[in-house]
A and B are shown apart, each in its own frame.
Chain A
Amino acid sequence: MARPKPEPVQVIKQRRDAALRALAEGVPYIQFLGITFDRRGDELTAVLPFDDKLIGNPFLPAIHGGVTAAFLEVTAIISLSWSMLWQDFETGALDVTQLEAGDLPRLPKTIDFTVDYLRSGLPRDAYARASIARSGRRYASVNVLAWQDNRARPFAQANAHFLMPQ
């Protein structure tokens, strides 16, 4: 039996980028913080561009601890949802045009979230990546690491548990 012809690369890219946009851009709070996502294949990197409104300590100045926590939590939820939905929109089981119209599937809910502040967040762009330690039928455990100029010197990390949509 002949293997089906692979889809043109731009069709794949368009579909994946549209799915990611729908996931992230539909959430007001993600827009409020100005977080965007870089995609390479299925790997996501969250980007938090620096803005004065994110400052928590005006004397240093440093990014607000709450912003750091929120950034890590957004990264964890979007990355987990992304991995949860990947199979569905790759096989076509999930219609991306429906996603784009704002019809988002139910997303994981945070059960608990632990942030570890390693260094103060400097007034510049920040990046974060999540790794999914376990994604089960009911619960998921996710680790997130955030850094600024230097990937080897993270400024915060987090561990979170989620209740998967039933």
Chain B
Amino acid sequence: MPDKTQIARQFIKAIPHARELGMEITKILDGEAEITMQYDPRLVGDPKTGVLHGGAVSALMDTCGGAAVMSHPDAPAGTATIDLRIEYMRAATPGQALVARATCHQITRNVAFVRAVALDDDTSRPVATATGAFTVEQA
């Protein structure tokens, strides 16, 4: 039987936009997910500095949040974002991959609550943090 990480990797590959942004699941277990997105010049928001656009960070956070919900032991059959709040602490360093780590820390019958952080090579200073609420779809 293929393990959960394997299934999740396939799952993310089936999402056209995640594939387009080159997202790769690097860890997934019991409500925790880690997704890596390589630096890509197409995602730049400030051509002068080469810094990634905030929107690309949002896309990464949203995908990672959803993956964390899907990997929770009370596995919902599906999920959709209700709301997502992102705080941008600093610009992501140009040329470095961005890693999002999300935790689904609470799940009820209808709602899953998520916290996430986005990091580049300097893991001591987060690029962004996020909190979100996701729907829990019953099978």
Residues 73-112 of A at the B interface (beta carbon under 8 Å): 73-74, 77, 102, 104, 107, 109-112
Evaluate contact between A29 and B58: CB separation under 8 angstroms. Answer: no
Chain B residues contacting A15 (CB-CB under 8 Å) are: none
**A64 touching B18 in the complex, CB below 8 Å, given contacts A26-B47, A115-B83:** yes
Residue total for A at the interface (Cβ-Cβ under 8 A) = 38
Number of interface residues of B (CB under 8 A): 36
Which of chain B's residues has its CB closest to A115's CB? B84
Whether A110 pairs with B61 at a CB distance below 8 angstroms is: no
Contacts of A64 in B (CB 8 A): 15-18, 59, 62-63
Top 10 A-B residue pairs of the complex, sorted by shortest distance between their CB atoms: A66-B59, A70-B55, A29-B53, A64-B17, A69-B58, A66-B62, A55-B16, A114-B85, A28-B44, A65-B81
Q: Identify the B interface with A (CB < 8 A).
A: 14-18, 20-21, 41-48, 52-56, 58-63, 66, 80-88
Interface positions of A (Cβ within 8 A of B): 26-33, 52-58, 64-67, 69-71, 73-74, 77, 102, 104, 107, 109-117, 120
